[in-house]
């Protein structure tokens, strides 16, 4: 029998946002707190009931039924709602009968929800933060990690964003082309951050969180299935996710330690996902007049990583050279330096890496530890030590310590 303590967090990640989106579609995003309360109470009941009676055969359907019943109970207790809110809630109650958790309605609800939250009246940072919390179930800590920001900053940003949702009376309406053009970039950024947190998690001591990767891919796939959102950028992002996800099982060992790319067992790579990545990358490049985005470049890099070609590093470096021009980030700079080492050797790569001067970044020190390991053992030991000191991830500490131990006599 499955353990409820293990399955409930996974379902919370995948189903909580679906319940909130469908309920908000029925009675207005202004009442999002009500929808969130109903969803939370649904999972509370699940954790209590399943612990005693076991997990049902169809847990997601069980959750949807409970959510509908709790929504019905909510409307029965309108007397506790302030008088000036009763009329609009009664209007919403008329829509209650249309609440349906079928696959199409869930997809439509989540699509509309994410575009509603990504409203240009808020800053892009606020839009992404709201989407990560409401639609993707991120904690404040996870959002702070995604933005490399302080938790207090994110908390205030979310408070302002939620107030804006109420004040401006945003509604979840059918999408129109103007909304798409205004908001799609932020939507893609949100899904990109969601996938990245799963692919290389900085929280909860897990190096990889497949549930986040799968959720990001599912939501991006929804975008490719809608005529208005099926753009070259969307396809490029999905291609990137497919390529990266194809190597998930090869990236960690049984002890939870990271396996470096050169040491991965290619037999563990998912060939079907690589083929899908190829398909979506071709779709992303169909139009001759497309604007090459960072998603195209990153998907191209991921393609070469899964190609099996021994001559991959020069084209990978060329793509990184383009990427740092389009959108520089510390991670991009460090990855470029690693690719540079594969083409021009560690000595020249060290000079490239040290130009970045990211002395408070654990990946910077980890890279320099790797590059110095066959050139200057003392410097390699120093940088691996700094990386271990700076990282918050237990699995990363284990991997770095293993590399450090190889250098100590």
- Could you read off the pLDDT of 221-262 as tens digits, one per residue? 989 988 889 999 999 999 999 999 999 888 877 776 677 777
Query: Across the strands, what pairs with 252?
Result: 258
Considering the chain, what is the average pLDDT of its residues? 85
d(CA 67, CA 20): 10
Q: Is the per-residue pLDDT at 183 higher than 90? A: no
- Could you read off the pLDDT of 329-375 as tens digits, one per residue? 999 999 999 999 999 999 999 999 999 999 999 999 999 999 999 99
At 242 the pLDDT is 97
d(CA 21, CA 174): 14
At 16 the pLDDT is 87
Place of tokens 């390991």: 373
Work out the percent of the chain whose per-residue pLDDT is above 90.
43
CB 263: neighbour CB atoms within 10 A?
9
Q: 161: burial class by Cβ within 10 Å (0-12, 13-18, 19+)?
A: buried
Q: Which two tokens stand for residue 254?
A: 């049984």
d(CA 388, CA 36): 39
**Exposure b/e, 343-370, CB count within 10 A at least 16 = b:** eeebeebbebbeebebeebbbbbbbbbb
CA 308, chain centre distance (Å): 27
**Dihedral angle, C-alpha 275, 280, 285, 286, nearest 10 °:** 100
Query: Across the strands, what pairs with 258?
Result: 252
- Radius of gyration from C-alpha coordinates of the chain: 23
Top pLDDT among 316 and 264 is at 316
- Could you read off the pLDDT of 93-102 as tens digits, one per residue? 555 556 788 8
Task: From the options 3.90.70, 3.30.70, 1.25.40, 1.10.357, give the CATH code of 339-409.
Answer: 1.25.40
Top pLDDT among 5 and 392 is at 392
* DSSP H stretches of helix in 204-289: 210-224, 232-245, 271-284
d(CA 408, CA 404): 7
Instruction: Evaluate whether 67 touches 38 at the Cβ level (below 8 Å).
Output: yes
- Could you read off the pLDDT of 144-171 as tens digits, one per residue? 877 778 999 999 999 999 888 777 766 6
Span of 55-59, 174-178, 199-203 with lowest mean pLDDT: 199-203
Span of 68-77, 310-319, 326-335 with lowest mean pLDDT: 68-77
Q: What would the mean pLDDT of 301-319 be, rounded to a whole number?
A: 94
Work out the percent of the chain whose per-residue pLDDT is above 70.
88
**Exposure b/e, 173-198, CB count within 10 A at least 16 = b:** eebeeebbeebbebbbbbbbbbbbbb
Q: Is the per-residue pLDDT at 382 higher than 90? A: yes
Q: Where are the domains of the chain?
A: 1-101, 103-217, 339-409
Q: How confident is the model at residue 134 (pLDDT cuts 50, 70, 90)?
A: confident
d(CA 407, CA 409): 6
CA 281, chain centre distance (Å): 20
Q: Which two tokens stand for residue 368?
A: 């320099």
d(CA 131, CA 145): 15
Q: Is the per-residue pLDDT at 174 higher than 70? A: no
For 246, the 3-state DSSP assignment is coil
């Amino acid at each position: 029998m499955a353990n409820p303590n293990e399955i409930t967090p996974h379902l919370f990640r995948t189903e909580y946002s679906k319940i909130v989106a469908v309920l908000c579609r029925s009675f207005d995003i202004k009442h999002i707190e009500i929808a969130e309360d109903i969803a939370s109470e649904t999972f509370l009941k699940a954790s209590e009931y399943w612990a005693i009676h076991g997990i049902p055969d169809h847990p997601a359907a069980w959750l949807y039924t409970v959510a509908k019943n709790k929504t019905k109970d909510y409307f029965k207790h309108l007397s506790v709602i302030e008088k000036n809110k009763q009329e609009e809630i009664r209007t919403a109650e008329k829509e209650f009968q249309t609440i349906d958790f079928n696959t199409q309605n869930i997809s439509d609800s989540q699509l509309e929800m994410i575009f509603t939250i990504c409203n240009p009246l808020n800053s892009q940072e606020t839009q992404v933060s709201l989407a990560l919390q409401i639609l993707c179930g991120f904690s404040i800590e996870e959002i702070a990690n995604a933005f490399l920001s302080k938790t207090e900053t994110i908390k205030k940003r979310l408070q302002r964003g939620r107030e804006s949702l109420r004040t401006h009376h945003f509604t979840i309406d059918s999408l129109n082309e103007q909304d798409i053009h205004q908001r799609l970039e932020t939507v893609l950024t949100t899904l990109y951050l969601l996938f990245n947190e799963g692919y290389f998690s900085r929280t909860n001591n897990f190096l990889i969180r497949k549930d986040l990767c799968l959720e990001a891919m599912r939501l991006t796939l929804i975008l490719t299935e809608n005529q208005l959102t099926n753009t070259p950028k969307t396809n490029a992002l999905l291609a990137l996710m497919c390529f990266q996800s194809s190597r998930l099982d090869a990236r960690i060992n049984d002890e939870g330690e990271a396996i470096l790319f050169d040491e991965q067992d290619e037999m563990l790579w998912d060939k079907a996902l690589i083929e899908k990545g190829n398909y979506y990358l071709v779709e992303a490049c169909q139009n001759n007049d497309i604007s090459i985005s960072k998603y195209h470049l990153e998907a191209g890099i991921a393609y070469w990583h899964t190609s099996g070609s021994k001559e991959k590093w020069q084209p990978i470096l060329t793509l990184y050279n383009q990427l740092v021009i389009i959108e520089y980030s510390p991670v991009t700079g460090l990855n470029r330096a690693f690719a540079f080492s594969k083409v021009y050797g560690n000595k020249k790569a060290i000079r490239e890496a040290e130009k970045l001067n990211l002395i408070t970044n654990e990946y910077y020190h980890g890279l320099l530890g790797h590059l110095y390991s066959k050139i200057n053992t003392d410097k390699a030991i120093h940088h691996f030590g700094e990386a271990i000191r700076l990282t918050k991830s237990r699995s990363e500490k284990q991997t770095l310590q293993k590399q450090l131990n190889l250098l100590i006599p």
